[in-house]
Structure 1
Amino acid sequence: MDRPLDINELYSGKKGDSLFNEPFLPEEMSTESTELMQSWAESLPDERLRAITTALVVENRIDKILSIFLPKYGRLLELSVFGFSSKIRLLEALNLVPIALTSTCHCVRNIRNEFAHNLSKKKLGDISRKHLATLNGLYKAVWKDMSRPAYTIDNVPFVEFFNLSLYCIAGLDKYVANVALMREAISRPEFVEQLRNECSLENKAFVNAIVAKYDHNFVELTDTLNASMDD
């Protein structure tokens, strides 16, 4: 029997695997994201359109996080090679959000690509076995034994993609607040000054340790020389 949905658990990752392993405001969702979710929901009848729209919304949420954390993120957007895949990998490299979120981003991108590059594929059940297996594995890993959003159609790949899309879009949005607060904190002059002081203290401790070791060795050498002269 499914457990009740636990928002904190759903959007949280393993402690230590990423800088943030849970959203500061798990119940909140931005107005911007709510509007994007509404546009996303309107693409419901067509599975190809659903996959392509989902990828656009997920990419938008990644852009939001990266633009907050990187003040000059626009410089990267000027590069023709900096696309959806690069954005996901950059988010992974920064390690700001749980791994399950970035893994789901990759899954969404791969499914989008299958539809974009093959016009004969119209349903989620038409995508490759490899990507269907990834979709199913992520679906089980993310939702575990918690209750999923209700859906009435008998289409397993679609239901799995729908639920994972919901998790991915909302999950990325929920970590925006974490990243925004961190960006604000590290941009303060007092934060930089604190780092300067800590660096100075560590450097002094390092130098003092070397001097102390040198003095100790010098004393030992002097004692040895004196002893040899006495002999």
Structure 2
Amino acid sequence: MLVIEDLHAAYGDSRVLFGMNLSIDRGEVVAMLGRNGMGKTTTVSSAFGLVRPTKGKVSVDGRDLTGAAPHLVARAGLGLVPEGRIIFPNLTVEENLVATARASARKGKWTLEAIYDLFPRLKERRRNMGDQLSGGEQQMLAIGRALMTNPELIVLDEATEGLAPLIRDQIWDCLKRLKAEGEAILVIDKNVDALARFADRHVVVEKGQVVWEGSSDELLSTPEVKDRFLKV
């Protein structure tokens, strides 16, 4: 579904990615792990056309989309739940959901009704403005908004950051339901234990490149990976 090959990226003179490689198949759940500042968000931003790579290739379903405009990447089947949620504060919950929905959303699996079934709280709050929601509700809305594009792959950058424990559990339950329904997911999060129970495969990023890759069992049985690359 998504293939990133030898990707390099920078912000001005500050280089961030040094040959990033990543692939995700249909229906696969992949977790991206690493300390802050190691290139995880830049990898996502480069895949979505928010940062122009200086070298390398981004392919979606075999189509070269390296440096393509974000709306073209979205049309190709990628949906993003960005770090910080970035919902529209002056739109209602329902307006946020329909504002970015693809024209084909009515024919796809993810409709307003399906989102409200996934997140009943959003239905209760559908007439509230975006800035009237709690952090957890905003994250639900950001996930729902991405799903309304009916993506082939949904990417979540810092899926549970800053959320209360009870809300974090609700988000993980939601993601497990998406996985059970066959959605392809790339998730960035700091909760290694939760990711180990959820993801099919893990990639660890250090200084702009993948330094380790393996299954949940391999991650949990290799404490030196956590000690070397994930502990602050």
Name the one with the larger helix percent. 1
| Structure whose alpha-carbon radius of gyration is higher | 1
Interval containing the TM-score (normalised by the shorter chain):
under 0.3
